[in-house]
Amino acid sequence: MAVFNSFKRSLRELHDIRCIAAVGVFIAIFVVLDGFCSIRIGEAIKINFAYLALAVIGMLFGPTVGLVAGFACDLVGWLVNPTAGFLPWLALITALEGMIYGLGLYNFTPDRSPKQYIKIVITRLVAVILCNLILNTWALYSYGFIGGSDESLWSLIYARIGTNAVGFAAALVLMPIVLIPVKLAYNRMFKGRQTR
């Protein structure tokens, strides 16, 4: 029931012009970070920090907005920097990642308590395992971008654990540094509106 209420509350956020404006700004930040500030290692491995913009959207506006914004991030990113054809599965995976941040961080309070830090850790861990390791690897493998005929999907997942572990460790430092000030600033700007 609480999850359903989060989606419902988040859907109402879409009626607020402040939500639309803020989401537009963070989609632009996502596209810049993803397309122009990422580190490529070979053909299949890309390290970037675009997830921070998506996490902010989920934290401020919840799972429904996170889902829509995740899809929009991938679509706008492709329109700005079309390195290959538009791949719907990858857009849906980014949408799922946005929804995960919305579910995990929508009630985030910037009080630096261990409970809030654990919320960040668990949310990012779920996003990394489900979206990055499993679904992203599967999509890239299915589209033929990684792996050969002699490689199994599980061997590719295993090979990507190292880079995802490094990225996850970086996220444990970066996410609180980004999320806490953004939430505090948002609360100050719209005092009384955010009582989460």
Q: Where are the domains of the chain?
A: 2-189
The three-point CA angle 164-170-172 to 5° equals 105
* CATH classification (class only), 2-189: mainly alpha
**Residue 191: exposure state from Cβ atoms within 10 A (0-12, 13-18, ≥19):** exposed
Would you state the pLDDT for residue 143? 80
**pLDDT higher than 80, residue 103:** yes
Q: How far apart are CA 169 and CA 90, in angstroms?
A: 23
Listed residue (171, 170, 142) closest to 156, CA to CA: 142
Whether 64 contacts 13, CB under 8 Å: yes
Q: What is the CA radius of gyration of the chain?
A: 17
Distance CA 196, CA 178 (A): 18
Which among 164, 163, 142 is positioned nearest to 152, based on CA atoms? 142
> Over pLDDT 70: what percentage of the chain?
92
Query: What value does the mean pLDDT take over residues 150-167?
Result: 84
pLDDT score for 191: 61
The tokens of 154 are what? 């599980």
If one counts every other C-beta atom within 10 angstroms of the C-beta of residue 196, the result is 14
Neighbouring residues of 43: CB distance < 8 A, sequence distance ≥ 6: 145, 146
Confidence of residue 196 (pLDDT cuts 50, 70, 90): very low
Question: What's the rounded mean pLDDT across residues 163-187?
Answer: 92
Give the C-alpha separation, 15 to 9, whole Å: 11
> So what's the pLDDT on residue 194?
46
Residue count (the chain): 196
Nearest to 13 by CA among 61, 56, 54: 61
Interior CA angle at 52 toward 163 and 107, to 5°? 120
| Chain CA centroid to CA 163, Å | 17
* Percent residues over pLDDT 90 in the chain: 58
